[in-house]
């Protein structure tokens, strides 16, 4: 029996991943670019060689769906694996568009790899984490990370790459928590429906790579205006493909729209703030660290909870 604990941080895509070219391997139809966050993390302990398979979240038996997904992911990592115990906990609510699957599968991959004594490179860990949840492949690094979609059928060239480290740029990301409950429709189902039915999906594919290129340059040059404009364009295009799917996928709530308008108003007053949204109603706002108070007070008029996050570190095996 051997045991390892890993902590991995959530990431939020500034340029979005939406749509798969291979649903088995989670191979994306587009490249994406993300920021890893400091205070949102998952810590996971894997015991390799337990009496029987068991999965616990915060010390309690995990819901069936969650346990099955985690265990079958480990089957894929090592088809000859022994029984395992997985103990996991998040520093933030799960399943609410706050990127828990990204930090969750990154932490599980790292802890399982260390506990099993495997000697994976960070890129190999990213390829493995991607198969648990696409966005997890970006949580293998801190700071800004690019995930190039790759072209190989086996997915070995579809993984994250570090773009700029945690301390590269004094930015903050605020999360306006519109709703912290479970989302009505998961990202996997929503992505597939969008791909199959939205007339805008082809345009989404045709313009995404240029958004990643623009955002990469903007991060390197620390140009918030250029990054913010590419970021908002990416999120509104992604949501437009969802809204035009059949049946339509719509995560927005009235407070989502109120936060969108609040960000536009901040900009009209000269505060550089830009928003992004994922498969959920929450609004995430990127700004200079010096503007955190102004952004926080504007968002607080519409939601009862605003989380302030800073760029975060790479994951770590802690024990
Ligand atoms: O990693 P998944 O399968 O939960 O998909 C994440 C999709 C978005 O959060 C909407 C976008 C992204 O790039 O993270």
Strand 273-276 to strand 160-164: parallel, antiparallel, or no bridges (unpaired)? unpaired
Mean pLDDT by 10 residues, the chain (319 residues): 97 98 97 97 97 96 92 95 97 67 96 97 98 97 98 98 98 94 86 98 98 98 98 98 98 97 98 97 97 98 95 96
CB count in 10 Å sphere of residue 170: 11
pLDDT value at position 184? Answer: 83
Q: Which among 8, 13, 133, 236 is the best mutation to test ligand 1's pocket, defined by most ligand atoms within 8 Å of the CB?
A: 13
pLDDT value at position 93? Answer: 66
CB contact set of 254 (below 8 Å; sequence gap of 6+)? none
**End-to-end Cα distance, the chain:** 15
Give me ligand 1 centre to Cα 135, in Å.
Answer: 5
CB of 17 sitting under 6 A from ligand 1:
yes
CB of 278 sitting under 6 A from ligand 1:
yes
List of domains in the chain: 2-168 (3.30.230.10), 171-309 (3.30.70.890)
Query: Residue 97 in contact with residue 65, Cβ under 8 Å?
Result: no
CB of 234 sitting under 6 A from ligand 1:
no
CB of 208 sitting under 6 A from ligand 1:
no
Q: Can you give the pTM of this predicted structure? A: 0.96
Atom of ligand 1 nearest to the CA of 16: 13
Q: Where are the beta strands (DSSP E) in the chain?
A: 2-15, 20-22, 27-28, 32-48, 54-57, 60-61, 84-90, 144-147, 160-164, 171-176, 273-276, 283-288, 306-309, 316-317
C-alpha span between 21 and 164 (Å, rounded) = 27
User: Nearest-5° angle of CA 63, CA 118, CA 161?
Assistant: 80
Local structure of 213: helix, strand or coil? helix
Give me ligand 1 centre to Cα 80, in Å.
Answer: 30
pLDDT value at position 94? Answer: 62
Q: Which among 187, 241, 243, 245 is the best mutation to test ligand 1's pocket, defined by most ligand atoms within 8 Å of the CB?
A: 187
| φ/ψ (deg, to 5) at 85 | -115, 130
Nearest-CA residue for atom 9 of ligand 1: 278
Q: What is each CA distance from 154 to 150, 167, 269, 307, in whole angstroms?
A: 10, 34, 49, 38
CB of 279 sitting under 6 A from ligand 1:
yes
């Amino acid at each position: 029996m051997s045991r390892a604990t890993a902590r991995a941080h959530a990431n939020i895509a500034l340029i979005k991943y939406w749509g798969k070219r291979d649903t088995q391997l989670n191979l994306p139809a587009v490249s994406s670019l993300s920021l890893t966050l400091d205070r949102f993390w998952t810590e996971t302990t894997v015991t390799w060689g337990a009496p029987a398979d068991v999965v616990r979240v915060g010390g309690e038996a995990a819901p069936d769906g969650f346990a099955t997904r985690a265990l079958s992911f480990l089957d894929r990592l090592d088809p000859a694996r022994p029984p395992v115990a997985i103990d996991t906990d998040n520093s933030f609510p799960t399943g609410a568009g706050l990127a828990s699957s990204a930090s969750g599968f990154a932490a599980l991959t790292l802890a399982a790899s260390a506990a099993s004594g495997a000697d994976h490179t960070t890129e190999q860990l990213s390829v493995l984490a991607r198969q648990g949840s696409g966005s997890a492949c970006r949580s293998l690094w801190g700071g800004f990370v690019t995930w190039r979609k790759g072209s190989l059928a086996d997915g070995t060239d579809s993984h994250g790459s570090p773009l700029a480290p945690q301390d590269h740029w004094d930015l903050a990301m605020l999360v306006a928590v519109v709703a912290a409950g479970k989302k009505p429709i998961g990202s996997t189902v929503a992505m597939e429906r969008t791909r199959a039915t939205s007339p805008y999906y082809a345009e989404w594919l045709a313009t995404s790579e240029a958004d990643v290129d623009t955002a990469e340059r903007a991060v390197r040059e620390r140009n918030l205006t250029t990054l913010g404009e590419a970021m908002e364009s990416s999120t509104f295009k992604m949501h437009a493909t969802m809204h035009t799917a059949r049946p339509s996928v719509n995560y927005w709530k009235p407070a989502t729209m109120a936060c969108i308008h609040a960000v536009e108003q901040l900009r009209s007053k000269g505060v550089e703030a830009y928003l992004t949204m994922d498969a959920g109603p929450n609004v995430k706002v990127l700004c200079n660290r010096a503007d955190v108070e102004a952004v926080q007070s504007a968002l607080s008029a519409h939601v009862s909870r605003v989380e302030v996050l800073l760029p975060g570190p790479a994951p770590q095996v802690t024990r």
